[in-house]
Every structure is written in structure tokens, then in C-alpha cells.
Structure 1
């Protein structure tokens, strides 16, 4: 496959990406804006991993930070600068870029760089859904002995003294923590390019085909947004599984930005009278009712759809009074990367949200 992105396809990718954001993955409105910008700047070409020559490398493009951070400041030029810095430091021939994950913004991670630097986007993001930590989007590299992570981060407002350019080399988890701290120092967000790997490694460990999956879901959203029930039925039919938990009104949102993450919970009063608690760590992590029944657990995909707009909501934007539909897609029905399949990595979730995950 070699696919040139046009405006309609870009919109589908962003809308579907927002669904797979599962409460995270960035702002779809900014995603739509920057996807359009990318195809105005040049050609955005999406290819299969087999299209990348075996003697070239693939790097991951990402945004790192807390979506609700008040001083987050990220420009398209920051993404380009991040990849240029990476190419200078890594000194490997770059044959493709993959996004760290699917999301309303993050599905298009790398698209601006692709257009300007003429590097193709590979249909194999590090993860087919959004996730909170860099290790979760590192396609299992934390388990590769002696792997040296190379990461470059750029972001922040120069006028407020927040602008940073950071280059990190070292063990993957330590490098990821340093990049997270760079996001904090930048005011909340940085554009990141990281972790050169071979096409073969991507093929074995990334979420191969997950951009295509998001785009197909996005097409369903494009065609059915005015009828949320029909839209959801068609999406779950396409994915081959999933359940609508309830419709209801958001009664309470608790959010704390801590260490570069958004952490908290949402309480929804269902139309059936049952209250549902959705915890989040950037992304929605668990959903259970007031009796303690669990309906979904990360990396299952927990989605909150705004009944007024027909669009998925992120944890950063959901607010009291919103009328929403809650649904869960079991992890078996989405394409996941190696980083969110590791039980040791998932234990971090338990420590942050105080809920049993495994």
C-alpha cells in the first residue's frame, strides 16, 4: 500500500483516531487543523511497513504531556525541529515515521514532518489506542537488552521563557522520564521523535494496520454522526465486539495535573439510575458501577461520546452536565502494540489510579 492523504481521508483518520484515543490522544480539533496543514505543506504518504527498505530505520513521532496543562504550547515547527534534531543525533537513514498511538491528534503524529521532510508515514503506530506513558508506546523496547533510546523533544513558549530543545540518550525508561520532565518544564507539552528501529522490528511489535482501522471507524463517524445509536452500532459491528454501557449525564469531574499527567475520575449518572465511575490517567483506565461491577479495564478501550456532537470526548474536555454515551471495546478487538501487553508496565496503572488492573 502507498496512499496519498487527501482532506477527506485526513478527517476520517482524525475522527477515528479520536475514538481510539479512549479519553486521551489529544485534541481532535487541533488534529483536524494540523492534518489539513500537513497536506497543504506537501504530500503526506502512508505506506505499509513492507514498503520501507530493510536497510533503513523507522522512528516514532509523538506528543508528550498533560492535555489539560494550562501553559502547554506546541507549534508545527516544534514537531519539524524535533525530527530534524533526531536525524542529526541518531545518524541513521530514516525511511519512515510511525505515530506513538491513535488519538484525535496523535494519529497524525509525524504528518507535518512527513510533508516537509518527505519521510513516509508507516501504517504501524506503536499502539493502536492511546496510552499514558512513553514506555507503553515504545513497542517493547524496554525488554531489549542494552537498547539505547534516543529521544528529542521540542516545545514551549519562548516569550514566557518555556521553550526547550532536549536530546536524551540512555536506558529507555530513564529517557522517557526525562522527556516527561521536559514537557513539564515546557509548560505541559513537547513534540518528540524517538527510538530508531528496523522495519522488521516494527512489523513484529507495533500495531500494524491500526491507522487503517482508525480510518475505517472515522468513515463511519463521518457518515453517521447525526444518529449516535446507529453510528455506535456500526462501529462495534466493524470492530467485531464491544458493548454500550449506558447513556447519562456527567455529574462530577475530578482532575489533577501531576508530573505531566492528567489524573482523576468522571462520575456519570446513567439514565437507568445507576452511577458509573470512570477513572483516568490521561486515558480512561477503568469503568465500574456504584456496586463495584467492572465493565472495562485498560487496555480495553473505554469511550465517552458526546450525545450532542456525536464525537468522542477526552478526559481533559469532559465537563459536568455533558450528556454522554459510555461504551467499551475489549482489547481483543483493537490492534495493540507490544508496550501495552506487558503486565509489568500495566502495574504502573494500579499505582497511579489505585485500582486493580491485572
Structure 2
């Protein structure tokens, strides 16, 4: 159904998005700030995909980079600039969808909708967060001859970058990832205009509503309510005794050790979760951490000495993109994980 997004949607969307982000998807504080700004700027509209023509051209909005960077700087003007640039080359764009669920990414598009009047679709390229651009590109890399169009903007006054490019999906994604490094860690992106029918077939219809539902479960009943709602499990509770995070090629890469027996590996999102050397979950399983107050904690905000609860949810309970069943997209992640001695890959 078509509806106006309201103040009552903000906290559930951001918190539910953070949980479905699985360690990635941006900052809770920035997500709340962006969503509140959207409602101050106008009346963003959320439409279900079934309410508009399958031929409607929609565009994906995203945040690309390493959220842990202290110089990461993306504001409303950057989001609008990226969308404006791509609409200049493809004026038929009539709807917006986000690339994934996350604290910031679930509400990405709300501000653009408020400022332009374009509706936000209740659809994400992927219903959980993912670390590579191709995972949020609706399987277009398998379409022979496809040329990606991507616009980006970000950075403070000293590091500001913007651009509009066309090329193969992989090359375009790599250039945008490099631009995020130059910008200080993060850029806003608008990319890959496609017919709505393609987005529905390869993406995750209902992803925004799912995030809002998960967030309301958290607000109503805490972590245990989230686990019941998503049919997952609380797998471990304990203290962080080791935490390592480095920014490499525009990604946050590291690991978390909890109470000597739990080990989480992340590439922005949590990739693997072991207890006593036994694999509990692997991406695209949803692995997520919560602090002592039951608030979601993304991978870039974990600190040594913190007490965490770790949950795991199987893929069957998530709304996932077709890309989550494409083995070639997992190979770069396997190489990163395998680069650490003694670590097991996906």
C-alpha cells in the first residue's frame, strides 16, 4: 500500500535495519539523523512494488565505503547530488529503492523522496547488508553487455568528490569504492536504473516493512523478542576480550573474540561465527551483536571489554537477493578471510 512515512516509523526502521545489517549498513545515530531530516524536509512516500507498473524505471541508492573511518562524511546534499546526476542522464527514473537493510541504508531514499517527490519502494536489492557492490546489483553482472551507470558524492570540504561514470559493473563498483577512500571513507551513490520487474525478480520486495517489523519487536520485547520474531537463536553472551579492525580498500576488516570461545570475523558485515572452533553461522546467515542494554552494535563500533549478545538467523528467514546464491560473488570474500593465518573461509 502507498503510505506516508511518519515519525513513528523512524526508530523501528533504523533499529530493525541495524539488526538486518548484520554488523554493516552504517551507524544508528546517522540513520536516525537522516530519517528525522527527511521528515523535516517533506513527506517521503513508501510504496509497495505492486502499486506501480513493472516497466517503471527505478534507481538504487546506496552508501559505499568503510563506516569506521573517522573522516567519513555523507550529508543530505551528497545524497541528493548523486540522485540528481543520474537523473540527468536517465530522466525516466520514477522511483527509488535502497541497496540493502542497515541502520542507515534502510532509511536511505527517504530524504531523496522528501526532496524530489519520487516514492521510496518497499524493496531493497538485498534484505540484509552485504560488503560488495556487486552483491547489491541485482545479478546484472550476469547480463551480457550490461553497462552500469553510477553517480556518487561525498566527503567534507577538504575531501569532497563527486562523479558520474559508465562501465562494466565490476569496474564501476571498484571506481566508486576507490572514490569513497578519497572522500574520507564514505560516498552516497545512485546507480543502475532498471525496470521495476527486474528489481522485484532479483531483489527483496518487502524489505523495508520487514526492517520496521524487526525494529518494533526489539522495542516491544528486546533481543529475545527479535529472536522469536525472526526464528533465530541467541548463540552466545560474553565479554569482548579481543577486537581488531583495519580499513583496507574501502572496507572494515577484522575480528572479535568473545569470552575466549567465540570468534566473529567481519568484512563490514559479520561473515563467520565460531564457538570453540565449531562453525555456528556463515554469511549470508544473519549474525548480529547487541550490547548489555539490548541495543544493536555494528562491527565498526565494538570495543574491547564490552559485553555482547550474539544472535544467528538462518537465510531461510531473511528476504535475500538472487545474488546470495551466486558463488562467484563470494570468491573475493573468501580470499580476504583466507589471507589471515589459521582462519577458515565461508
What is the match of residue 35 of structure 2?
A: 35
1:148-187 maps to which residues of 2 (within 5 A)? 148-158=147-157, 160=158, 162-187=159-184
Equivalent positions of 1:78-93 (< 5 A) are 78-89=78-89, 91-93=90-92
Which residue is equivalent to 2:235?
245
Q: CA deviation at 1:266?
A: 0.4
* 2:288 partner SS: strand
Q: How many residues in Structure 1 have an aligned counterpart in Structure 2?
A: 342
| Structure 1 counterpart SS, 2:296 | coil
Matched ranges for 1:1-358 at <5 A = 1-89=1-89, 91-158=90-157, 160=158, 162-224=159-221, 231-239=222-230, 241-269=231-259, 275-290=261-276, 292-308=277-293, 310-354=294-338, 355-357=343-345
Unaligned runs of 5+ in 1: 225-230
CA distance in 2, matches of 1:357, 1:201: 31
Other structure's SS at 2:281 match: strand
Give the distance between the partners of 1:300 and 1:93, measured in 2 at CA: 36
Query: In the TM superposition, what whole-angstrom CA distance separates every residue of 1:89-126 from its partner, at most 9, and x where no partner exists?
Result: 2x241121111100011101111111001110101100
1: distance between equivalents of 2:54 and 2:125? 18
1:52 offset after TM fit, Å?
2.5
Q: TM-score, normalised by structure 1?
A: 0.93
Deviations 1:232-284 (A, max 9, x none): 33222222x21211110011111110110000000000xxxx51110000010
TM-score, scaled relative to structure 2: 0.96
- SS of equivalent residue, structure 2 residue 247: strand
What SS does the corresponding residue of 2:176 show, helix, strand or coil? Answer: helix
Q: Distance in 1 between matches of 2:49 and 2:92?
A: 15
- For 1:280, what is the secondary structure of its paired residue? strand
Are 2:227 and 2:311, in contact at CA under 8 Å, matched by a contact in 1?
A: no
